[in-house]
Amino acid sequence: MEIKGARILIIDDETQIRRFLRVALTSHGYVVKDAKTGNEGLDAVAMFNPDLVILDLGLPDIDGLEVVRHLREWSKVPIIILSVKEQENDKITALDNGANDYVTKPFAMGELLARIRAAMRHTVGVEEQPILKFDDLTLDLVHRRISRDNCEIKLTLTEYEIVKYLAINAGKVITHKALLHTVWGLAYENEVQYLRVYIGQIRRKLEIDPSRPRHIITESGVGYRLL
């Protein structure tokens, strides 16, 4: 369900994209403002106070990555990146610098709406809740336990820390670098294969069918997302 009346700021230099998004998002009950440059967008965040920002990385004045960095100096507003396939490295950098999610152009409106809902849900303070539920999975942050249909699942300390970090950021893409840094430390930031081994172990314990995971989803070349 859309959050009726929520304010969305679009920062994109393509007139057709801005017009399309404005019409589509307005029809779903959002209040929309748009900006065609990075500097206009930064000013609009301060004046419009949006609940979410949709940001193109390729802007005519300042790089979209700079917009993310500037915003994260003073704002926690959710940011969804619009990117083209060739910008994959920039996309990862944006996520590492505080963007919440990304959608690759061309995109389906239904997918973007789902990403918007997930990003806005994340802002309500899920990390402050002691019990997190994900379909048949329950994570008890107080007692450091995870269960499926009330049956406890035994995880190692490292496995639990991975699941916990994904859970408190549920719906958000977490890059390989961010997960490795958080769980193992700075020296392990490039050990992507190390992380893949652990994710495989976790899926065998959490997923009913590990070959078709429903909870921990791979974002190819970027990282993981817990749904």
Amino acid at position 115, single letter: R
Task: With beta carbons less than 8 A apart as the criterion, state whether 183 and 158 touch.
Answer: yes
The CA R_g of the chain, rounded to the nearest whole Å, is 18
| Distinct helix (H) and strand (E) counts, the chain | 8, 12
- Nearest CA-CA partner of 170 in 133, 222, 205, 196: 133
The single residue listed with the structure tokens 């402050």 is 128
pLDDT at 88: 75
The single residue listed with the structure tokens 């505080």 is 98
pLDDT at 3: 62
Which two three-digit tokens encode residue 53? 């920002």
Backbone angles phi, psi at 94, to 5 degrees: -60, -45
Digit-by-digit pLDDT tens for the chain (227 residues) are 456 688 999 999 999 999 999 999 999 999 999 999 999 999 999 899 899 999 999 899 998 999 998 898 888 899 999 888 667 788 888 898 889 999 988 888 999 998 998 888 766 544 456 788 888 889 888 788 899 888 999 999 899 999 999 988 888 889 999 899 888 988 888 889 989 999 999 999 999 999 999 999 999 889 999 98
Task: With beta carbons less than 8 A apart as the criterion, state whether 99 and 68 touch.
Answer: yes
Q: How many CA atoms lie within 13 A of 29 on its CB side?
A: 9
pLDDT at 134: 84
Ranges assigned E (strand) in the chain: 7-11, 31-35, 52-56, 79-83, 101-104, 131-134, 137-140, 145-148, 151-153, 174-175, 216-219, 223-226
Q: Give the 3-state DSSP-derived string for 50-65, with helices as H, strands as E and coil as C.
A: CCEEEEECCCCCCCHH
Which two three-digit tokens encode residue 186? 């700075």
Prediction pTM value: 0.72
| Domains, the chain | 7-122 (3.40.50.2300), 126-226 (1.10.10.10)
Q: b or e along 126-136 (b: 16 or more beta carbons within 10 Å of the residue's beta carbon)?
A: eeeeeebebee
